Amino acid sequence: MTNQGDILPADAQPTRIPRPEHAISRANISSSALKVLYRLKEAGFQSYLVGGGVRDLLLGREPKDFDVGTDAHPEEVRQLFRGCRLIGRRFRLAHVRVGRDIIEVATFRAGSDLLPGDDADSALSEEGRILRDNVYGTLEEDAWRRDFTVNALYYDINDFSVVDYVGGLEDLKAGTLRMIGDPEQRYREDPVRMLRAVRFAAKLGFRIHPDSEKPLWELGHLLADIPAARLFEEVMKLFLGGCAVSSFELLRHYDLFRYLFPLTDEALSHEEQGFPITFVARALDNTDKRLAEDKPVTPAFLYAALLWEPMRLRMQELVQQGSGELEAAQIAGNEVTVEQVRSTALPKRFSLPMREIWLLQSRLERRRGKAPYRLLEHPRFRAAYDFLLLRSEVGEAPKELADWWTSFQTLNESERAGMVEAPAQKKRRRRPRKRKPVTRSDA
Catalytic residues: 65, 67, 147
Region from 59-67, 92-100, 256-264, 326-334 binding ligand ATP, contact rule CB under 6 A: 59-67
As measured in angstroms, the least distance from the Cβ of 218 to ligand ATP is 19
- DSSP for 74-97, written as a single string: HHHHHHH-SSEEEE-SSS-EEEEE
Cα separation, 220 vs 188, whole angstroms: 10
| Sole binder of ligand ATP in the list 184, 190, 335, 386 (CB under 6 A) | 190
Q: Which is nearer to Mg ion, 55 or 178 (CB)?
A: 55
Binding mask 60-79 for Mg ion (x = CB under 5 A): -----x--------------
Cα separation, 75 vs 245, whole angstroms: 42
- β-strand pairing of 93-98 with 101-107: antiparallel
Applying CB under 5 A, the site for Mg ion has a residue count of: 2
142 binds ligand ATP (CB under 6 A): no
64 binds ligand ATP (CB under 6 A): yes
As measured in angstroms, the least distance from the Cβ of 199 to ligand ATP is 7
Residues 300-329 that bind ligand ATP (CB under 6 A): none
**Torsion sign (Cα): 50, 56, 60, 66:** negative
- β-strand pairing of 176-177 with 84-87: unpaired
As measured in angstroms, the least distance from the Cβ of 398 to ligand ATP is 40
CA distances from 435 to 68, 333, 427, 429, 438 (A): 75, 32, 19, 16, 8
Cα separation, 95 vs 87, whole angstroms: 7
Closest C-alpha to 249, from 238, 240, 241: 238
192 binds ligand ATP (CB under 6 A): yes
Closest C-alpha to 383, from 411, 398, 364: 364
Region from 60-68, 170-178, 373-381, 434-442 binding ligand ATP, contact rule CB under 6 A: 60-68
| Sole binder of ligand ATP in the list 29, 98, 152, 235 (CB under 6 A) | 152
CB atoms within 10 A of CB 203: 19
Q: Which is nearer to ligand ATP, 94 or 390 (CB)?
A: 94
52 binds ligand ATP (CB under 6 A): yes
Q: Which is nearer to ligand ATP, 24 or 152 (CB)?
A: 152
Q: Which is nearer to ligand ATP, 59 or 401 (CB)?
A: 59
358 sits in which H/E element? helix 348-363
**Residues comprising the chain, all counted:** 443
The site partner of 244 among Mg ion, ligand ATP, none (C-beta below 5 to 8 Å per kind) is: none
Q: Which is nearer to ligand ATP, 256 or 328 (CB)?
A: 256
353 binds ligand ATP (CB under 6 A): no
As measured in angstroms, the least distance from the Cβ of 65 to Mg ion is 5
CB atoms within 10 A of CB 150: 32
Cα separation, 181 vs 320, whole angstroms: 54
As measured in angstroms, the least distance from the Cβ of 157 to ligand ATP is 17
The site partner of 146 among Mg ion, ligand ATP, none (C-beta below 5 to 8 Å per kind) is: ligand ATP
- DSSP for 201-255, written as a single string: HHHHTPEEPHHHHTTHHHHGGGGGGS-HHHHHHHHHHHHSSS-HHHHHHHHHHTT
Region from 20-28, 77-85, 187-195, 411-419 binding ligand ATP, contact rule CB under 6 A: 187-195
Region from 62-70, 116-124, 208-216, 352-360 binding ligand ATP, contact rule CB under 6 A: 62-70
CA distances from 356 to 122, 301, 312, 334, 373 (A): 45, 10, 14, 11, 17
| Sole binder of ligand ATP in the list 67, 133, 171, 356 (CB under 6 A) | 67
Q: Which is nearer to ligand ATP, 190 or 396 (CB)?
A: 190
52 binds Mg ion (CB under 5 A): yes
The site partner of 71 among ligand ATP, Mg ion, none (C-beta below 5 to 8 Å per kind) is: none
Cα separation, 335 vs 354, whole angstroms: 13
Q: Is 96 exposed, middle or buried (0-12, 13-18, 19+ CB in 10 A)?
A: buried
* Residues found near ligand ATP in the complex (CB under 6 A): 51-52, 64-65, 67, 146-147, 151-152, 190, 192-193
* Residues found near Mg ion in the complex (CB under 5 A): 52, 65
